[in-house]
Amino acid sequence: MTALLEFRHVEKRFTASSCVLSNIDLEIHAGEFVVLVGHSGCGKSTLLSLLAGLEMASSGQVYYQGIPVTRPGPERMVVFQDHCLLPWLNVRENIALAVDRVCVDATPTDRAAIIDRIIEVVELSDAATKRPAQLSGGMRQRVGLARALAIRPKVLLLDEPFSALDAANRYQLQEALMQLCAELGITVVMITHDIDEALLLSDRIIKLTPGPASTIHSIIKNTLPKPRNTLEIANHPDYYQMRKDLLQFLKERQRIS
């Protein structure tokens, strides 16, 4: 079975002297949920940009479906850290911008239904006609996520999508994301700083060494049985072992840097 996404000896430099990522070799299979953890500035976002095709590797190659990634495309949809909502469009219109571009075969009624449904999933029905400026940070993140999910991408690239959410909203959205991605078979690569979030959502957790010249430190295979939910995962015997492993890793790196 060939990997859906693949990094082969990837190195990324922004200038000759500053190496952000080096020696990255990684395979991600279809339907997998992969989480990236690591210290701030270790190149997690750069790794995501390489997958999206927004940045090109300085050496080595990133592959999608066995073909080198040379440009971005909606099948590898990104949920940006700063949401990237257009301020002059309301919630509906922001989502429609993506849906109208991608779902070209759908009738206008079908498109409206797709948008309605996803707005409901992220619980923004009351805010559908509001502009981003009228929304809280958490609501904006939800719109960004809704826009990405609405077009049912093959790969979803998430850069700390829940960082601005309060706990209650975060749990609810994590579960919605988990369910939708499993249902639609979406492959997810997500950056997070939240250990519990990593354990709840991931199939594998990839630990990146601190920069500069970050590389893959090690990979944790998440053995928690599915389906998972926020309350029950903490009861599993493997949970604390993996949690401790991650905490230790993050703490150690703090000492190094």
Partner 1 sequence: MTTTFDMPERRLPVQWLLPCLPPIALLGLWWLVTATAIADLPSPATVLALCGPLFGKAFSVASPSDIGIGWLLCYSLGRVAVGFGCALLVGVPLGLWIGISPKASRAFDPSIQLVKSVSPLAWLPIGLASLHNSELAALFVIFITSLCPIVLNTALGVHSIPKGYWNLAQVLDLPKSTVLRQIIIPATLPNLFTGMRISLGIAWMVIVAAEMLTGAQGIGAFVWNAWNNLDLGLLIVSILIIGLTGIALDQLITKLARSMPKETP
The residues that touch partner 1, with contacts defined as CB under 8 A, are 52-54, 71-74, 76-78, 80, 82, 84-89, 97-98, 101-102, 131-133, 140
Q: CB of 235: closest distance to partner 1 in angstroms?
A: 39
Nearest 5°: the CA angle 152, 155, 157 is 105
Q: Which two tokens stand for residue 101?
A: 């571009």
Closer CB to partner 1, 97 or 112, in the complex: 97
Q: Which residues are 219's β-sheet partners?
A: 206
User: What is the spatial distance between Cα 35 and Cα 202, in angstroms, rounded to a whole number?
Assistant: 6
Distance (Å, rounded) from C-alpha 18 to C-alpha 152? 36
Q: How far is the CB of 69 from partner 1 (least distance, A)?
A: 12
3-state secondary structure of 161: coil
Place of tokens 């929304």: 135
Q: Which run of H or E residues covers position 81? A: none
Output 157 or 176, the one with its CB closest to partner 1.
Answer: 157
Give the tokens for residue 210.
Answer: 């601190």
d(CA 189, CA 47): 10
- Between 74 and 138, name the residue whose CB sits nearer to partner 1: 74
Alpha-carbon distance values, 117 to 125, 127, 193 (Å): 9, 14, 29
Residue 12 vs 39, nearer CB to partner 1: 12
Contact between 64 and 5 under an 8 Å Cβ cutoff? The reply is yes
Least Cβ distance, residue 57 to partner 1 (angstroms): 17
Q: How far is the CB of 216 from partner 1 (least distance, A)?
A: 25
Contact assessment for residue 204 and residue 230, using Cβ atoms and an 8 Å cutoff: no
Nearer to partner 1, 86 or 219 (CB): 86
* Least distance CB 226 / partner 1 (angstroms): 29
- Nearer to partner 1 by Cβ, of 153 and 210: the residue is 153
- Smallest distance from partner 1 to CB 252, Å: 33
